[in-house]
Structure 1
Amino acid sequence: MNNGSSNGSGRSPSNLPPLSLSILGVEPLDEFIREVADFIHHMIGQRPEGANGVEVEAKVGVLRDKVSGQRLSLPVLVETIIMPNSVDCRFESNMSPIQHKHFNTLLNNLKTTSSTPSEMNYAHLHLVDSFYAAPDGRGEKVRVTRDEKSGAVQACVQKVRLGSLDIYSPKRAADWRISVNVEIPVPQPIGTATHTRKKDRMSYTHEEFIVDLTQVTSTFGASSKPEVLHELEVELARPEYLLSTAAKRGDPNVSESERGAFDELIRAFVNNARILVRNSGDGWQ
């Protein structure tokens, strides 16, 4: 008679020892995390000499087919990194006001009820970005960021875009994009701004990451109607720490923890982006 035991030992499954991670006793490398880490590490290595203001961020949004305008549809079942320049699509980070409110509630609840040992800090920022033509007429515009109330200059930079990765999430309401940029400080420009944008930003800081939920109001001229967007992103908080860990990645002359610190940082970064995507509901524009 079958006694219900599948291993013939007579013990119930609850009394069995835990399973090994694998026949080698180790967990196989997560290829997704490694691909993202390799990409970011490579992009960091391509930055202009002396440029240390590295910005690594993941924006939540929707990948759309450029022809139909519909959300991208690929023959995959789970979250997938798209090979750059292989699919004719665009990324849109705008969400509806209802979705914006959903994430605001979610993040506020995390701040007040989080069970993690690290505190989540919060700041409500009101900023104004003014954009000016590049000094040499080439490259990205110069951005001057000021505090809306005091007018104090927070930053004056020219952004250099190094690269991006699109992640398609067929089981979720949203996709995401990882971008690596460098922000180079430049002298404050003289003249008239080409356009401005106001940012009403709720910023949540947790350990090495900043989650920004922002309402962006852009104005392109006195006669044009302002454009209002709602965006969500997670960003690495300390560029200097990112560069420090990147420099020691795989270095045999440092400790194992130092060699692996970069990949662990990127693992947590990816996990934070995934948490946001998996908590997204309907309401993407």
Structure 2
Amino acid sequence: MDISALVNPVSEVPPRRSPSGSYSMPAPSPATSSAKLPTPPLSTHKPMTHKRKRHDPKPIWAIREDEMIEGLPLIPAQRQQSRPLPSTPRPQPQPPPNAMHNGPAPGPSSPHQPGTAHELIGYERPVSNDAHVYDEVSRKVCDFIFVTVVNNEPVRRAIAASPDIQVEIEARWGQIIERNTGQRLRGFHDTECVVKSALLNTSFESTMTMDQHKRMNMYLNGQVQRSKLPGAERASIDYTHTREIDVFYELDQPAFERLPPLTRELVGASKTRQRIRVTLDQKNGRVIRQLIKHRIANLEISSPQTEWDYRIGVNIEIQFPGPMDGVPLAQEPGKSLEAMKRHKDRVSYSWLDAFHLDLTQVGQDGRKNHELELELDPQVLLENGDNVNKKLPNCFESLINGMMNNLRVLSREITPAANP
């Protein structure tokens, strides 16, 4: 098993290129005889060759069933039904101005079936007559998750080999901070873009103020209420409120030896110190989970027009087996064991069996922090990602687009209105 591919997965996917058809010179116009055209002077220069046009085709997950890939249908020919020739089209009445600008309202959709996409109409429709135009940032996130999760063979083998290992795909709201200045990253860009973090001396701080936490809580509770109204044409949002305590243990050598062989191989390949996070129910002290969180890759997005930037993280969560007897508690210099504990007051929202949003107040060592994060259901993601490779209908890109839409909508909700 190639562990280096797991720890340092390929982050860039070279775009597939398909050459266009050969370029041909047009024939002389029949209205003018070629004999009457002036003869060009002789030249020793070689005729200039015409560059072939290059196109950036859609990724496979963005291709519909009725489209072609390199001249071949996406669905096997035997599954295609013959269609009668269309009759002579009749003029259709133009939609009213509001419909042309806004498009049809999307209806509710299942997470396992493509929803009714908003087709571009009226002025929005490009000269190519494409019904959809992809978002470049969301497409980059699609590539990132497809490489680091769906097509990451070491990760997939680890998940298949042990029920105690699962992949986590999370998106966090926060700010990209320059370490030299301690200020939020401000560059030449004025709109949202993916950042090449490896080329920068930055860190990501996932935090918000108490007032922002309160406003976000009220906004999300309002969305829960609206989703429960009779006749609401939207996905129902469920709500839970939990209070938990995190206690950290060192993964010393005896504890390391208790892990299964494949898990030891994964954890041993990491260059960072690993800890075991034991989460307890604050009411009764019951152990809820015991996890080792192993980072795979991060992708950061700068959003200078809104209050927050975003970090997309891919991790592996490993359940630590057995009781914690004999495992030493983690303790940092200058901190007591009590100061190491994290007290989490969390409100969670989930919908479509695909999205899980956590709004959390974290108390540790007398300080409070506020965090907002969104997780994708790993089974839904992997199911749709596998259907991409099988060339079956899937919702992979719409799932990632949904994640990006949630990041943008909630960030804009908190961003103060610009002064006129």
Report the TM range for the smaller structure's normalisation: 0.7 to 0.9
Distance 1:140 1:99 in 2: 32
Structure 1 position 67, deviation (Å):
0.8
Structure 1 position 156, deviation (Å):
1.1
Q: Is the 8 A contact 1:132 1:193 kept in 2?
A: yes
Query: Structure 1 residues 88 and 151 mapped into 2: Cα distance closer, same or farther (>3 Å)?
Result: same
| Residue of structure 1 aligned with 2:411, choices 270, 277, 283 | 277
Query: Structure 1 residues 60 and 116 mapped into 2: Cα distance closer, same or farther (>3 Å)?
Result: farther
Distance 1:48 1:143 in 2: 23
Cα deviation digits, residues 194-243 of structure 1 (max 9, x gap): 2321110011112111111101112xxxxxx433211011111x212212
| Residue of structure 1 aligned with 2:212, choices 71, 75, 99 | 99
Structure 1 position 62, deviation (Å):
1.2
Q: Quick check: 1:209 aligned with 2:355?
A: yes
Q: Quick check: 1:193 aligned with 2:340?
A: no
Which structure 2 residue ranges, 5 or more long, are not aligned?
1-93, 101-120, 160-164, 257-267, 331-339
Give the alignment's TM-score, normalised by structure 1. 0.83
Distance 2:375 2:174 in 1: 15
Distance 2:126 2:140 in 1: 22
Distance 2:233 2:316 in 1: 31
Give the alignment's TM-score, normalised by structure 2. 0.58
Q: Is the 8 A contact 1:57 1:235 kept in 2?
A: yes
Distance 1:197 1:96 in 2: 18
SS of the residue corresponding to residue 182 of structure 2 reads: coil
Q: What is aligned with 1:262?
A: 396
Distance 1:251 1:28 in 2: 24
Which is worse superposed, 205-214 or 111-120?
111-120
Q: What is aligned with 2:60?
A: none
Distance 2:218 2:124 in 1: 40
Alignment of structure 1 residues 109-258 onto 2, 5 Å: 109-114=222-227, 116-136=233-253, 139-187=273-321, 188-190=323-325, 191-194=327-330, 195-207=340-352, 208-218=354-364, 225-236=365-376, 238-252=377-391, 254=392, 257-258=393-394
Distance 1:59 1:71 in 2: 16
Q: What is aligned with 1:49?
A: 157
- RMSD between aligned residues: 2.4
Q: Quick check: 1:32 aligned with 2:140?
A: no
Which structure 1 residue ranges, 5 or more long, are not aligned?
1-10, 219-224
Structure 1 position 22, deviation (Å):
2.5
Cα deviation digits, residues 66-108 of structure 1 (max 9, x gap): 0111111011121111023122111111211111111111111
Q: What is aligned with 2:76?
A: none
Structure 1 position 19, deviation (Å):
4.5
Cα deviation digits, residues 240-263 of structure 1 (max 9, x gap): 2212212222433x2xx22xx211
| Residue of structure 1 aligned with 2:195, choices 73, 78, 82 | 82
SS of the residue corresponding to residue 401 of structure 2 reads: helix
Q: What is aligned with 2:25?
A: none
Q: What is aligned with 1:222?
A: none
SS of the residue corresponding to residue 122 of structure 2 reads: coil
Structure 1 position 193, deviation (Å):
2.4
Query: Structure 1 residues 25 and 184 mapped into 2: Cα distance closer, same or farther (>3 Å)?
Result: same
Percent identity over paired residues:
32
Structure 1 position 47, deviation (Å):
2.3
Distance 1:56 1:80 in 2: 20
**Which structure shows the bigger proportion of residues in strand conformation?**
1
Tell me which structure has the larger Cα radius of gyration.
Answer: 2
Structure 1 position 279, deviation (Å):
1.3
SS of the residue corresponding to residue 197 of structure 2 reads: coil
Q: Which has the higher contact order (CA 8 A, sep 6+)?
A: 1
Q: Is the 8 A contact 1:176 1:277 kept in 2?
A: no
SS of the residue corresponding to residue 214 of structure 2 reads: helix
Distance 1:211 1:50 in 2: 26
Structure 1 position 116, deviation (Å):
4.8
Look up the equivalent residue of 1:279 and give its one-letter code.
Answer: E
Look up the equivalent residue of 1:276 and give its one-letter code.
Answer: L
SS of the residue corresponding to residue 276 of structure 1 reads: helix
Q: Is the 8 A contact 2:250 2:328 kept in 1?
A: no
